[in-house]
Amino acid sequence: MGILNVTPDSFSDGGRFADLDAAIRRAEEMIDEGAAILDIGGESTRPGSKRVSEQVEIDRVIPLIEEISSRFDVPVSIDTTKSKVAEAAIAAGAEIINDISGLRFDERMAEVAASTKAGLVLMHSRGEFETMHSQPPVEDVVSEVTNDFRRAIAIAEVRGISSDSIVLDIGIGFGKTLEQNLELIAKLAKIRDTFPEVPLLVGTSRKSFIGKILDGASPEDRLSGSLAAAVAAVLNGAKILRVHDVRETVQAVKITNAIAAQS
């Protein structure tokens, strides 16, 4: 899943693809590099980011989704917590809703996913939009994530969303300590075994925990750490990786899978 943010303030690529032509060029580049899904975001969720209105978000993402859907044969995911944005994105050609709130922020989101038969990514997070990065850490992060997934899946099922439309995202970096981020990746197989029919998504790309381990490396200097985390996630059960650096990650996963096939 290639990340394409059309925002001025995302932590890694803020402002780079706000121009429609630049965003389309980046989309084509990621597809050529091997992206199987493009995840389009119109509202930054980095620590300290501010909410934008539904209309601002729609104005940012819809022209790009329409262009990608008409030009390329690749599924588009809309990264949003707002049901009206999701609805507009699906109408424009998106096929997947990526909800970092796990159906907590907008009660209509499950209804939109069910009525449009869109895929639905449910991410673990805690707190409200403004506080989800500053939540005090829980004692048992694996149990916390597992229990929250059960809650989100139950809501989805009540609203009529098919279980084979759901993907679970462990929410690396959202209200979790450095050690807890590492623990979730290390114990991903345990979560996979709890939900054996549901694919797991992991998004570690360029995140701050990698910078902390690598002596304060900036987002642009976290490629090697991002690849190491991606490989560990795949070995422990991840089926989808949400990344900025598509070509390098695809290559790393190909080698990982080739080695794993001989075990």
Name the residues annotated as catalytic.
207, 242
Q: Enumerate residues 6+ apart whose C-beta is below 8 A from 110.
A: 103, 120, 155, 156, 158, 159, 161
Which of 123, 134, 226, 234 lies closest to 170 in space, CA to CA?
123
Q: What does the chain come to in residues?
A: 263
Q: How far is 126 from 101, CA to CA, in rounded Å?
A: 8
- How far apart, in whole angstroms, are the C-alpha atoms of residue 260 and residue 263? 5
The phi, psi pair for 8, rounded to 5°, reads: -85, -10
- The two three-digit tokens of residue 76, written as one number: 């588009």
Rounded CA separation 184/12 (Å): 23
Both structure tokens of 131: 């506080």
Strands (E), the chain: 2-5, 38-41, 76-79, 96-99, 119-123, 166-169, 200-202, 240-241
Measured between alpha carbons, how far is 214 from 193 in angstroms, rounded to an integer?
Answer: 31
Angstrom distance (rounded) from CA 26 to CA 16: 10
| Alpha helices (H) in 159-245, listed in sequence order | 178-186, 188-194, 208-213, 223-235
Query: Tokens 């975001």 identify what position?
Result: 41
